[in-house]
Copies of this chain bind each other. A is one copy, B any other.
């Protein structure tokens, strides 16, 4: 089945006959969502849905406002969780007259979802379809505490696949690509989203997964044998894979990758991590991803080979907000994203507070898509931030400095301790190929750069290459010795 071009020309002709300025003309944007599963743009076309992606942002905002009202009315009618919450706040969907009004809708916290699900098993009272319509189960992949289950209708599963195909198309992935899914295929929606997106896009999909003992060396062998051209996984795992390939005598740059795209942790928008991946594989790097709860999680996704992600507002409406009052901050400012799904019917998320951190910029037609832009992607979580002697420090800022050092060995650990009443920050950094006699100077040079980047001093301790375990999923590098319980809990 060569499906390229099929049904494309008539659809486009029909579209151009409509008014490009009306919200109705947005390609396949309906409530509830309905997608033509046979649609695929011509391979040479940059945008999956050109109008939807390039229309003036203000026009899109009007359409988004209308959609938000529909989504809220739907949730009011079908999801007791939302009705209860909004009644308590004295807000009715009909009261939302503009996007500023929407900022008054109280945010949803992840703890609320977890508690609601415990009280209304298994999918919570924010399930807005009959339980018999739930056809796919995913969930949070945390290893402690009560997991949160995602109950997904067939309609939502397909909407997510369609949305992901569209964003991956924007990354330049095409039918002729072979996409390796190299994250665990289990609860984690990251892997399934990449899988269904690649399938919907018409690429060849190779869901090899990750996380079982010895799998990484086999991944290298299969990548070579299968001619994989696109990698999906975490940045940490891509770096680990490059190391394993080298150990197996394979130059990662010879694996033939064209592109790698990432989610699950910061990194693909962190210049040094990004640079290391590009250099190792000789391929383009694309960042993507927000939270599994708000799938299509690729609604934050790069469409150009550069750091940063677009907020594909017609998939999930993203507001970068003040972490305290949950109102939008101005473009140019830092805040925490608050997400509202615009195409989900089974477990709609309406103003879900991420507690992640980002900075956003105003839409600009110059970027090729008229979406707000997050130039550093998601660079941390408010929870991950720690304070050392009054300065707020994000682990990703340390990663950025340390991994840029010549002679960096591939892993490091960040150790926060308290000596009497004074917090100290130490970074244990693997070195490789650094002469013993110059190690001291090497460490001092990194310390200088850290002081400039963080505003506080950090002690750099060189350690041998391969001192630390590599991860096949998300990196956990921070050891906070100030909290004994936390240290015991993490097994460090």
Contacts and interface: CB of A to CB of B under 8 A. Distances in A.
Interface string A189-216: 0001000000100111111110111110
Interface stretch (A68-76, A179-187, A362-370, A479-487): A179-187
**Copies in the assembly, this chain:** 2
Given A209-B184, A212-B211, A214-B143, A137 B226 contact: yes
A203 B121 CA distance: 19
B207 A2 contact: no
A212 B186 contact: yes
Contacts of A175: 132
Interface string A162-176: 000000000000011
A134 B143 CA distance: 36
Contacts of A42: none
Interface in A408-429: none
A466 interface: no
A218 interface: yes
Interface stretch (A148-156, A274-282, A351-359): A148-156
Nearest to A154: B1
A149 B186 contact: no
Nearest to A175: B132
A130 B175 CA distance: 14
B222 A136 contact: no
Given A225-B122, A226-B122, A134 B204 contact: yes
A269 interface: no
A214 B143 CA distance: 9
A195 to B, nearest CB: 9
Nearest to A129: B1
Interface size class of A (residues with CB under 8 A): 35 or more
A155 B130 CA distance: 32
Q: Which of A136, A155, A176 has the most CB of B within 10 A?
A: A136
A287 to B, nearest CB: 25
A277 B437 CA distance: 63
A62 interface: no
A167 B439 CA distance: 65
A204 B137 contact: yes
Interface in A251-306: none
A198 to B, nearest CB: 9
A77 interface: no
A215 B222 CA distance: 25
A204 B143 contact: no
B199 A185 contact: no
A227 B147 CA distance: 14
Contact of A132 (B2, B121, B135, B155): B2
A330 interface: no
B186 A137 contact: no
A133 interface: yes
A139 B222 CA distance: 10
A227 B122 contact: yes
B143 A199 contact: no
A178 interface: yes
B208 A187 contact: yes
Contact of A153 (B1, B207, B213): B1
Contact of A225 (B134, B147, B206): B147
Interface string A33-71: 000000000000000000000000000000000000000
Interface of A: 1-2, 121-122, 130, 132-137, 139, 143, 147, 149, 153-155, 175-176, 178, 184-187, 192, 199, 202-209, 211-215, 218, 221-222, 225-227
A-B residue pairs, 6 tightest by C-beta: A185-B185, A137-B206, A211-B212, A186-B209, A135-B204, A186-B208
Given A184-B212, A185-B207, 6 more contacts: A1-B153, A2-B133, A137-B206, A186-B208, A186-B215, A211-B211
